């Protein structure tokens, strides 16, 4: 008899594989208000985030603080493992 297609289980996954979702802060003035990111650099580098979660990539995004104009590069940990 014909096989019925297996119902796919909808995993509760966030849209982004980002592990660390904390808001980034300006190191100079402490503001979280920033320009949109540019110059994203993705590095394939597996390990454990500072808060103990596994990651497969490190993503760096360049931004500018809106409050004081300080340039900074925010680092994000992403888990892009296909399981």
| Residues making contact with Zn ion (CB under 5 A) | 26, 28-29, 31, 65, 67-68, 70
68/81 with CB nearer Zn ion: 68
29/73 with CB nearer Zn ion: 29
Contact of 24 with 31, CB cutoff 8 Å: no
**Cα gap 83→81, rounded to integer Å:** 6
Tokens of 29: 């003035």
Q: How far is the CB of 71 from Zn ion (least distance, A)?
A: 10
User: What element of type H or E holds 46?
Assistant: strand 38-48
Q: How far is the CB of 37 from Zn ion (least distance, A)?
A: 16
């Amino acid at each position: 008899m014909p096989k019925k297609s297996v119902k796919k289980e909808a995993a509760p996954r966030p849209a982004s594989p980002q592990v660390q979702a904390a808001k980034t802060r300006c190191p100079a003035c402490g503001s979280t208000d920033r320009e949109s990111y540019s110059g994203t650099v993705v590095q394939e580098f597996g390990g454990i985030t500072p808060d103990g979660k596994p990651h497969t990539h490190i993503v760096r995004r360049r931004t500018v603080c809106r409050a004081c104009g300080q340039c900074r590069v925010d680092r994000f940990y992403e888990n892009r493992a296909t399981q």
